[in-house]
Structure formats: C-alpha cells, structure tokens
Structure 1
C-alpha cells in the first residue's frame, strides 16, 4: 500500500517537474480568459463599428436639377441686336452660369429657326437665324417646346428647318413636328439615374385648330384632355418624372384662367409631376396641387415687349427625385435692353416684388455674397418652395473630372468612404483604409492657377505632433479633420492638416467668392456652443494662408443645410437653406377661359 502511494507521489512530482521545466503553470478557469484589450485595440474596434455604421447609411438620393424658363423669341428687335453686335450668344450672357449649372434646361421657343428676310418691329411673325441654335446649345438648353402659336409663322418649311437644326445641335423638342406622330411624341431623357418624360401641348384658346399636325402634315400638338391624360399615363409607366408644358391662357393676364387650372390639374391627376405654362407673356402665380407643382406662366425670358409686366419674371430651378418634386428655387430677373435677361441681386427691391407675384408660402433661403465696397461679406435672403419632406443626410458618392498635367483626363471618385484618383483605368492614389473620407472639393487656394484637393475625413485621433518626452495617455477618440493635398508627380502630396476639429464639418465646399482668384473654404460647422439648438449648424468662411486656413467671416447659426455656390446679379453667392414651413395650399379657381378664340398676338 505504501509503495502504491509512493509511486503515485513520484508521478505527481515528475509531472510538476515537467511543467516547471517547460515554463508552464497549471491551468485554471481564471487564467483561460484572454488578456484585456489595450486602448488602441478598443479604439480600432470602435472605428470599425463607426465605418460599418457610415457604410450602412443610405446614399444621398439621386437628384436632377431642371431650370425652367419662359418664352424665348430671338427675332424682331432681338434678332437685329444680335446681328448688330455680331454675337448670337448675347441674349444669354448674363444667365449662362445659372443655366449651365443645371442638369437640364427647358423653355418655350417662340420662333421658327429658318433662313429668311429680316423681321421688322411690330410684326407678328417671327423668324430666327440658324446660328442661334449654337447659342441655345451653349446656354445648356436640353428640351424646347415648339407648341405655340408662332411655330408655323414661316410655314411647313420653317417648322421642318427648326426641327432639323435642333436635332443637329442635340437639342430635343416637343409639342410640334414634321408629322402628327412627331408632334405628339414624348421625349424621354435619363439623367443621374432618373428617367424624365417631356410632353407639350397647344391649347385651342391660343392656336387655331388648322395649325395642328394631321397625319403626314406638319404642325403642333393641340391640347385634348383625354389624349393628354392617356399620354401622361403612358409616360408615367416608363419614367420616374413626367413634365408637361402647356401653351395656354390669355395674354397679359396676371391670374390663370379657370381652363388653365383645369388643364394643369388634369395633367397632375394623370400622373405628371411638373406642369410649365407659357403664352401670357407675364408671370402668373404658382400652385401646389396634390404632389405636383404647376407654374401657370413663366412670362418672357428673351423678348422685346416693352410693357411693364412683360420684362420681369423668374427662372425656376426645380429639384427632382424619383419620388417627385422635392423643391423649387426662384431666381428673379429683368430683361435689360429688351434683349437680355439679367438676374437681380438678392437685395434689389424689384426681386422681392417679383417673388410676391408667385403668391405662395415660401421658405427663406440665405445668400451670402462679397461686398467689394465694404470689403466684407453681406447676407441677403431669397425664397424657396418645399414640396416633400427633408431627406436625412446619407453617404456621399460623387466623381469629379480634372485635367492631369502630362497625363490627360483623370477623375476623383468618392465611394463608401474611400477617395481614389484614377487616370485611364489606372489607380494613382487612394485614401488609406483607416480614414473615412466624408467629402472632397477642388479649388485654387493660393492663386497659382493649379487646383488643390481638400478633403474632410474621420479617423482615430491617436498621437498628434512630435513624440512626447515622457509617456502620456493617448486619446484614441474618433475625430473630424480637414486635409489639403496638391497634385504632384501623378499622385497627391500632403500640404496641410488641421488638428481635430472641435466643430466637425457637416457640409463644406471651396469657392472663389471675392473674385481674387483664390478659393475660400465655406462650411456649415456643427454648432455645440452655449445656447445652440440640437442639430444646429453655423456658417463659417475660412481663408487660406501659407500656414493653413484662418477664419474670415462667421455667419448665422441654426437649422442650416444644403450649401451651394450660385450666380446672382454681378457676383457669386453662397446659398444655404433654412427649415421649411408648412406645405403650400391649393389655389382658387380663377376667371373663365375664352374657349374657342384663337389668340395669335405677341
């Protein structure tokens, strides 16, 4: 018995000796737990969760901006002024920046484009030279309505020439054609992933039925409610957005007639999202009907009429999403010299007077511009109409093309928090995976004629600056930073980085607002100061100096959003929106139409 226990004891001693010889210790439950994570490991896991959260946000919904304008007449005094200046682009010089910034531009072409004799003052037939087509193209016109009472002023040949010249320039047309099928066709366009349909009609109170296209005979598309409703429904089955143009109403009437409301509301009921009216030559109120927007008359855009109400109106910038009209912005202008629409500065008294004609509950939009005389920025207001609810901010996805010296065309692409610079399918530079790039912008910060690249990003803070002399506890919190790069040898070279921003950048851009050739940083910063409301943002403008950005001007704070640079009057402005008011209400019936009478006046 003793020997058995002695043998067992010897075995235990040998096992302990073996464990000791291998540097091992007996295992227990406490020692099976992994060692606690270090602060850096915890921070890395936190950042991975942050990236997953950001990647899970929906992308900002695709949007198309459509600028709608009124009657375009490039004949009579306008045509003679163009020839005298030898400048077919003259009518659009003051509005080109606004038009070219839009994805699509729509207007009513109130004259055939065909060679012919000179049109003198007070004539009621119009004709424009073929050279105007290039000016229309350069001004970014995408679709033109030919559904009006002047389309056939120079007969079937004049209409056929108009269609041919527009086709050669790549400008689409609706509402008239070389035969009945073409006159009544729907034009479909795709932009930013959104399909749009355009239709146009001539009401019988503006155009004699004899001008309608029949079979192989050229002409316009006359408005028939049943035909229009069926065409809109068919277009809606293929398109996300349906736009209908109607040439209707009584000339110089400041209010839409009852039949105008009936036509336009019937189009919305059939599935249209936006109805654009022409012919009265004066601006009429708008209406929000159902989920659609009706612009009963946009008045004149380029016209030589001298009457008081025929020389002012608005360009309407409509923001379209797959769900419909999101909002509409209104840019007042006055026709100067009877030939040239000129946008009004936001503070001009005439701008407010023009906007009042819309008779709609509009929200306030802020415009910040440079006052050269006072050498400071000034704040003005403009109006905007909201039709849908606010969309929460999502992931930014965008591509920006640029010329790379010695390489040709290149492109920056931001997707899922990674920024890439590519050229010809070759990757030149990519942001590191430990960054989440929020947004980027190109601009000439130092006036050397070469663009710099600024980007805002989120990353772990870690240690910033030179290594400390003594060990310190590191801060691994996730912070927002701004970095500036320059293009160098087919890649990007870091120029400057901000410290961790106490007020993160919610929205921002680079733009030259003062005209000195140097871009400023315009930002909506998260405002967490004393008394700031939840979600408040403050507008801040920063100027670049050799050591980095320095504050230049601080603006208002509040529920600001949708920052963009815009052209108004003589300069560039920063537009920023404020919270929308209650939805707009429907309008009154209006006076009756004079049905069956053909109005072929100016």
Structure 2
C-alpha cells in the first residue's frame, strides 16, 4: 500500500530503496462514444483517408497522445460494448459502438482498459465477447469482463518496468439489463468481499502492485456519494490495494489520499458527447501516478492533466460564426492550449481557462493539495 504522508504542508519523502524500481501510470475517464462522435469519425475519415470502414477516431483522440504514450502503463475505461465493423451502432441507453474506437485507443498509447460498467451487458454475452475479441485483435489489454467462467477466474497481471502489476475492475450492475444468474461471471459486480478475494488471488500469483478500477457513485455529481466514501474507507483499511481509479459520474470528482492510498473518485469523461452537453460532462482528467519502490513499500505520487472535449455549436442556416469557433469534436489537453494559445480569441481561450480552474477545484475539494501533494503535471519535467 502507498505510504501515508506526514502532517504538514508537504508530504514526507520515504526512504529510498537502493536500486529501487519505478514506473508511471496514466489513467483516464470514461470512453463513451455517442452518435455525434461516430459522425465526427466519419467526417475525419473522409478528410484523412485513414481509419477503417469509413471511420477514423484518431483525430478525435490525438490531443492526449503526448501524455498517454509516455506512461509506462496507460489505463482507459471502455464503458460500452462494440458492434460489428460496419454497424449498426446504437447510443444511449443500450450502447453499441464502433470497434474502430479500440484501434484508436491503442494508437494513442493505451495499454489496457477496464471493461466493467453498468453498460457492459447492454447487448448480452455476445456484446461482451465481441468487445474482448476486438481488444485482443488490436493488442489492448482488458479486465473486468469475461467471455467464459474460466476467463473470469483469471487475474490480469502485467510486467511494467520489471514490476508485476495486477489490474482489477468492478462495477455496479445495470438495472436496465441485469445479468442472468447463470452468466453472473460476465463482469465483476461491485462487492467489497469479492474485491478483497481478487486482491488476495493477485498477491498469491505474484502481484507486487494492485490497481483497482471501480465503477461507482452518482452520475453528474462532482462530490462523491456516501457509499463511495464508505467503500473507499473499507478498501484502504482492509486491503493492500495501491491505487483506486473511479468512473461513472461523467464529471470530475476529487482525488484524495484515504488511509495513505490515492483514491480518484471520478475522472470524468475521457471522451463523450452527451445529447445535452452541460460543460461539466466535457471536462475530464488524466490521473498520472508515479510508483517508486521505497525501503518500506511503494511510494505513490499523484499528478493530473485537465482535459476538455471541444463541442461544435449548433449552427442555423446562414448564421455567421467567429473565425476560430470550434468546428470539430476534439479531445484537448487543456494545459497545452492555455500555455500556448496562439491566435485563439479571448472568448475561446476563456473556456479552456474555466475548465482548468474548475477541474482543479473539483479535484482539490477533499483536501488533496498541501499534505496530500496532488499537483498538475507540468508540460516539461
């Protein structure tokens, strides 16, 4: 488990282990492909001549590639099942999204994804199997759902810079499409005791670090719910899990040390385009965690990268818009725009500044700065 910070304005520096290993983890929020993003991928494929079957999600995601690709382990959250290459595709409430998004996630630099969510079973076991089959084809790891009872019993352990890292994923179940009892193994359903058992199996199989992705909380609330807070307390008191990564709220929630362990309650959306964008649903964060082997265990430091999905305005026929108005859906690394705005208008730049300030406020809302040591990841270190 991560070491507890000492009291005071700065976290204590644990004793270093001679020759100690280290690695970095980038973790981001929900990948939620709404129909408008499929339309964008079709538009981009026509412009780039790339992609597959007329869809190219590369330009949509390209803004975060410099961050994601430099992490030793990059973890995404694939919220929904994928369909066939040429569709048909569906949006909310029973998602079925283009498999081409998985190729683009791999190209951006993601190594693996959590796949346990309340939408995992939207199209039954066939949707689960198809999604994992495509992830295998493109070389994207996965955990949290399974094609068989035997696969569900396996623990996902990857070697990262010489360290054996286990990744677990659990979710509450959808009321819309409940999993039949006979297929209850199709995805890991949220249960504290089951999480404890999964961690114990991972440790027994040689895992030196255990990371947990958890789908929890209330949608569109920037504050963690009481059940989230209680579960975070239990997990950090009763397990040796080294990092907790939260999803589901679709808005940014705090990152906080709980009993010495970093808990990201909700990373917002990595990429999404809700039918009624609120501004908050377009904001997200990439958590950046550096693990260093100390004399008494792993020391984990936390940084963050604010992101924003640009959403083009709805335009009436004949309506004239400013020259630098957003014309395409794009995932933006907010720091890069704010520090090098170029010829952006003050009006458009103000949106990025708002996102940066607001995300910081939500992240720090449970005391992460100061003694916890959460900071924005600088562009250059």
Q: Give TM-score scaled by structure 2 length.
A: 0.75
Equivalent residue for 1:310, pick from 269, 277, 281: 281
List aligned pairs for 1:41-120, cutoff 5 A.
61-86=20-45, 87-115=56-84, 117-119=87-89
**Counterpart residue number, 1:413:** none
**Counterpart residue number, 1:362:** 369
Q: How big is each residue's C-alpha offset from its partner over 1:335-371, in whole Å with a ceiling of 9 and x where there is no partner?
A: 112743201135563213211111234269xxxxxxx
| Offset, 1:76 | 1.5
Partner SS for 2:178: helix
Structure number having the greater strand percentage: 1
| Offset, 1:184 | 5.2
**Counterpart residue number, 1:201:** 170
Structure of greater relative contact order (alpha carbons < 8 Å, 6+ residues apart): 2
- The whole-number CA distance in structure 2 between the counterparts of 1:574 and 1:333 is 17
Kindly name which structure, 1 or 2, has the bigger radius of gyration based on alpha carbons: 1
Partner SS for 1:106: strand
Give 5+ residue unaligned stretches, structure 2.
1-15, 46-55, 313-328, 340-351
Whether 2:151 is the aligned partner of 1:163: answer: no
Partner SS for 2:63: coil
| Offset, 1:302 | 0.7
| Offset, 1:300 | 0.5
- The whole-number CA distance in structure 2 between the counterparts of 1:201 and 1:140 is 23
Equivalent residue for 2:102, pick from 127, 133, 138: 133
Q: Is the 8 A contact 1:285 1:358 kept in 2?
A: yes
- The whole-number CA distance in structure 2 between the counterparts of 1:244 and 1:92 is 24
- The whole-number CA distance in structure 2 between the counterparts of 1:222 and 1:355 is 31
Q: Give TM-score scaled by structure 1 length.
A: 0.49
| Offset, 1:168 | 1.7
Whether 2:238 is the aligned partner of 1:234: answer: no
Task: Label 1:207 to 1:224 Cα distance change in 2 as closer, same or farther (>3 A).
Answer: farther
Count residues with an aligned counterpart.
314
Give 5+ residue unaligned stretches, structure 1.
1-56, 365-382, 387-565, 576-602
- The whole-number CA distance in structure 2 between the counterparts of 1:231 and 1:161 is 25
- The whole-number CA distance in structure 1 between the counterparts of 2:253 and 2:89 is 29
Q: Is the 8 A contact 2:115 2:143 kept in 1?
A: yes
- The whole-number CA distance in structure 2 between the counterparts of 1:361 and 1:112 is 34
**Counterpart residue number, 2:292:** 321
Equivalent residue for 1:143, pick from 85, 99, 112: 112
| Offset, 1:164 | 0.7
Structure number having the greater helix percentage: 2
Q: How big is each residue's C-alpha offset from its partner over 1:222-280, in whole Å with a ceiling of 9 and x where there is no partner?
A: 11221211211232342111111111111111111121122233222211011111111
Partner SS for 1:330: strand
Task: Label 1:212 to 1:358 Cα distance change in 2 as closer, same or farther (>3 A).
Answer: farther
Cα RMSD (Å) = 2.7
